[in-house]
Amino acid sequence: MERDDVLLPVEPVFLKSLRSHVYGLVRDAILSGKLKSGEKLNERQLAGSLGISTTPLKEAFRILEAEGLVRSEPRRGIYVTFDPAQAEEMMLARAAIESMIARQAAKRVSEEQILRMRALLIEMRTGLETVDVLELINLNERFHNVIHEASGCAYLRRLQGGQSIYNHTARLSVLSEERERFLAVEEHEAIADAIAERKPDLAEQRMRDHVIRSGEKHLIRVSQSEDQKDRA
Amino acid sequence: MERDDVLLPVEPVFLKSLRSHVYGLVRDAILSGKLKSGEKLNERQLAGSLGISTTPLKEAFRILEAEGLVRSEPRRGIYVTFDPAQAEEMMLARAAIESMIARQAAKRVSEEQILRMRALLIEMRTGLETVDVLELINLNERFHNVIHEASGCAYLRRLQGGQSIYNHTARLSVLSEERERFLAVEEHEAIADAIAERKPDLAEQRMRDHVIRSGEKHLIRVSQSEDQKDRA
DNA sequence: TGTTTGCGTTTGATATATCAGATTTCAAAT
DNA sequence: ATTTGAAATCTGATATATCAAACGCAAACA
């Protein structure tokens, strides 16, 4: 055993399965509204246009079905199931789970993790002044990651990931507002305080309110841009 | 149209897909501990022993994977991923989602729904005295259903369903305790009060505490019976 | 004219075959 | 004795074939 530690394992990204690839494609199409709710997805036709067989496609459908983005009627077909109401519920689900994670984090956080949160918050303040939105997005994610890590809840974290419906572009759009950037950092600081002081109830409440408030902002933006498309 | 109404639609249970059947089979095996965490599931072998082809089986694996009960390593195989820690996290997830549902219910509940909750609670009190545990389980479910209905959150309800890891037997076991039966009814009454008074925060908090408390009870029972098996 | 029945087409469900990555084995080399 | 590496083998990923249910449309009938 000599110097194994210097060799990082190669990211196995490039051998991602067809299934997961087409899953991502369809998922994005649904969430972005390219596939309307109620629309029927023809297995063979879609497989044909994607240049793959039906086997990986129907596996992708099972994942989407488990996530609640499509509904499968036996011997009938699979139908898209996603509308603004469900988008809001997914946001609420994210709030519920993320706040439960925050609660657990407040019980288990280490001193080292508290320091890391504080450091990130200071960086956020800086990013606020330099109006570096990209950096702010990155810091936000790292901040939440520290909390996830502190919670020790791998399953909840995974479940939470399934409820995110907004892509990078949408985040950029929301954080383009000065007021929103300011609010986000304020709320993150409040959450960090609650966790650092080991107050589970408070941490949960603040995290929930934060996710719901910023989530509503997203939803409003999306519905507005949908309206614009409709007028066109 | 002549007398169609007297003909109830046949329960389409028997034409349930193979996929969903084997999904249920494997899921139960994992949750009940018959399949240990880390165990590898061989596609062909399992398909063979079940007397089916690999196609519906691998679809079932995708659902289980989306639920976080198995993990798939490309070109390697699929491995069971379920241990006591995850069981506890699933219970916490249930608490998080169910309490969010209660919160929404407190905002939207109708007078008629409040009356139905009250009626169920009265029946529970009766079931408490006659020690009709089966009836109590039934009433519990109907009570929660009213709340789900009041919340109007179809997606959250669905997501919640995926976090239930205990079967009828387990529920029976827990409610065999006099004290547990009493506590459950007390908590349900408190939850109903909060919802009837349209207090979202209170309803959420009470529902969360209820799910976590009774969930911990379940977890303890399970770990104890696991210990017994280990000694055998 | 409205309803029903029948058959051909479509399409999802399932089975089987093929491909390619991963593991194992075991002998040759050091 | 240990290492290496190539072939055999295992196994999941993907493609293709087959089966049967559901749909649609038109002919038959009332």
Distance CA B164, CA B172 (A): 15
Q: What pLDDT does A232 receive? A: 67
CA of B14 to C1' of D19 (A): 18
How do residues A168-225 score in pLDDT, each as one tens digit? 999 999 999 999 999 999 999 999 999 999 999 999 999 999 999 999 999 998 888 8
Q: What's the helix, strand, coil split of chain A in %, to 5?
A: 75, 5, 20
Reported as a single tens digit per residue, the pLDDT across B54-68 is 999 999 999 999 999
Place of tokens 């990155």: A138
A84-231: in CATH 3.40.47.10: no
Distance from CA of A35 to the nearest CA of B (A): 19
Smallest Cα–Cα separation from B217: which of B185, B170, B164? B170
Note every long-range contact of B108-112, with CB atoms under 8 Å and residues 24 or more positions apart, other chains counting.
B108/B150, B108/B151, B108/B152, B109/B150, B109/B195, B109/B196, B109/B198, B110/B150
Distance A162 CA to C26 C1' (A): 47
Q: Is-contact A175 A181, C-beta < 8 A?
A: yes
Nearest partner of B187 among B169, B205, B161, B199, judged by Cα? B205
Q: What are phi and psi of B70, to 5 degrees?
A: -135, 160
Predicted local confidence at residue A5, as pLDDT: 40
The torsion angles phi and psi of A50, rounded to 5 degrees, stand at -90, -10
- Regions of chain B where pLDDT drops below 70: 1-15, 232
Question: Domain spanning B18-80 has what CATH number?
Answer: 1.10.10.10
Query: Which of B155, B165, B216 to mutate to test binding with chain A, by most A CBs within 10 Å of its CB?
Result: B155
d(CA A138, CA A124): 10
Region(s) of chain A under CATH 1.10.10.10: 12-80
Encode chain A (232 residues) as per-residue pLDDT tens digits.
333 344 444 444 455 899 999 999 999 999 999 999 999 999 999 999 999 999 999 999 999 999 999 999 998 999 999 999 999 999 999 999 999 999 999 999 999 999 999 999 999 999 899 989 999 999 999 999 999 999 999 999 999 999 999 989 999 999 999 999 999 999 999 999 999 999 999 999 999 999 999 999 999 988 888 877 777 6
Cα B69 to Cα A14, A47, A108, A210, B38, distances in angstroms = 25, 28, 25, 30, 11
- Cβ–Cβ contacts within 10 Å for residue A1, how many? 4
Cα(A210)–Cα(A191) distance, rounded to whole angstroms?
Answer: 9
pLDDT at A226: 80
Decide: helix, strand or coil at residue A90. Answer: helix
Q: Ramachandran region of residue A164, left (φ > 0), alpha (ψ -120 to 50) or beta?
A: beta
pLDDT of residue B15: 54
What residue spans in chain A does CATH classification 1.20.120.530 cover?
84-231
**Which of A204, A199, A180, A183 has its CA nearest to residue A114?**
A199
The overall longest dimension of chain B from CA atoms, in Å, is 64
Contacts of B97 in chain A (CB under 8 A): 93, 96-97
Residue A12: DSSP 8-state: G
Burial grade of A10 (CB within 10 A; 0-12, 13-18, 19 or more): exposed
User: What was the pLDDT predicted at A8?
Assistant: 44
Inter-chain touch B68–A159, beta carbons under 8 Å: yes
Q: What is the CATH number of domain A12-80?
A: 1.10.10.10
CA closest to D16 C1', residue: A53
Cα atoms found within 13 Å of the Cα of residue B208, Cβ hemisphere only: 22
Which chain A residues contact residue B93 at CB under 8 A?
A: 97, 100, 155-156, 159
- Residue A192 class from Cβ within 10 Å (0-12 exposed, 13-18 middle, 19+ buried)? buried
CA-CA distance, A49 to A120, in Å (whole number)? Answer: 45
